[in-house]
Amino acid sequence: MATFALENPNTGQTEKTFDRIDDSDRDAILDRATEAYQTWRTTDIATRAEVLRKVADLYDERADELADYIGREMGKLLAWGKAELQIVSGIYRYYAEHAYELLAPEELPAQGAIRSYVEKEPIGVLIGVMPWNFPYYQVARWAAPNLLLGNTLVLKHASICPLSSQACQDLLEEAGLPKGVFQNIYASGSQMDAFIADKRVAGVSLTGSEGAGSAVASTAGEHYKKSLLELGGNDPFLILDDANLDSVLEQFVKIRMYNTGQACNAPKRLIVQRSFYDRTVELLEQKISALTVGTYDDESADVGPLSSIGARDDIVERLEKAAAAGEATVRVGGKALDRDGAYMEPTLLTDVDPSADVGCNEIFGPVAIVYPADSVEEAVSIANKSDYGLSSSVWSTDLDKAHEVARQLKDGMTFVNEHSVTAPGLPFGGVGRSGYGRELGRWGVGEFVNEHLYRVRPQDGGGNSPA
């Protein structure tokens, strides 16, 4: 049986190995999910909501242990891990507290009947393909609304997250979820095609790379399955004036370097007016140079390791190639650190060619890029010259101007004087190469759902003719 390993990016050491499933295990996994669906779909809303409420409490109670798991798996600083877990418990609690509101029938004008209305009903077994960068949060975004609806779930998490992925199942079952409703499986990406194509599966949600998203969408489309994709971004961060420049740049650096720069909705491209571009670069050099790199449990660390040595090396190689080709200037950092583990120097790039690899493709690490613009109109043009469209932000003391500019940006989420904000009641998702579909809030129960129309009229011998 094939195996994969928990390789601690803090040390570069292999801690534990896990057995992957065999292809022959697929039938049993999907049979369990299908059988569980027949019961879970008819379980009353109060019971489903109570499971979500209890699991929220468990995430709070086990925060120290759960944060340690992901620190060892993918290098997340403990403070960041505990912050992620607070968001996770909030998501489960949100769907528990708003269960009846979110699943309430929608009454329509009767339109010739006694009553016309739409019920939200589950559609069946769903596959979730989830990434390593927010191991609990990404799962919660998908799991909470769909468990509330009555769907059953099979989780294929990133292979570097064996502890946290199993914890997602264990905590739900401890909270009272019947076995088979949520199954964590240790599987490879290549095994997912057969799962998605299987007639017992009704849909698939993927958060991850564009390549994985394309493969999943292709298979889902071929077999008439609903899919939801969240694929990353190259998010712009526009500063329109320099009234609070130092403070705004402090926030930019903090947000950009959060999770060691490994967040799909982090601001990747800082765009400022040319009148304060030089001052911006000077301040960024100071702030980024001052960041401390350390292990996940180092309380003094500002930045941790990347998820793996391979991921670190890939970014460093891209930066070296860009600098050698004259496509970017490395002002700060850019190199691997000479120590065990997946560490690199936090980096600042200037003079970046927007059409080069480092300009137009996402850099999933602690790398900031700054561009000058000669006008607000040019800043908007630079921001919109991207095939991605996840999120963006506009920063200014003039709120009316900032809002006006924000409405010109072509993204799924745009913020004024904040960035990378997520909350249980806010929709999350993008457009273009960032994917499609929305998670969280009422939108989370609106993706993998049968919006079932019911009409009631007396048997009077009349009736409408078929359309």
Residues taking part in catalysis:
230
Rounded-to-integer distance, Cα 137 and Cα 165, Å: 11
Can you give the three-state secondary structure of 292-347, one letter per residue?
CECCCCCCCCCECCCCCHHHHHHHHHHHHHHHHCCCCEEEECCCECCCCCCCECCE
User: In terms of DSSP bridges, do strands 201-207 and 329-332 run parallel, antiparallel, or are they unpaired?
Assistant: unpaired
Calculated CA dihedral for residues 395, 401, 404, 406, nearest 10 degrees? 0
b/e burial code for range 335-367 (CB count within 10 A of at least 16 → b): ebeeeebbbbbbbbbbbbeeebebbbbbbbbbb
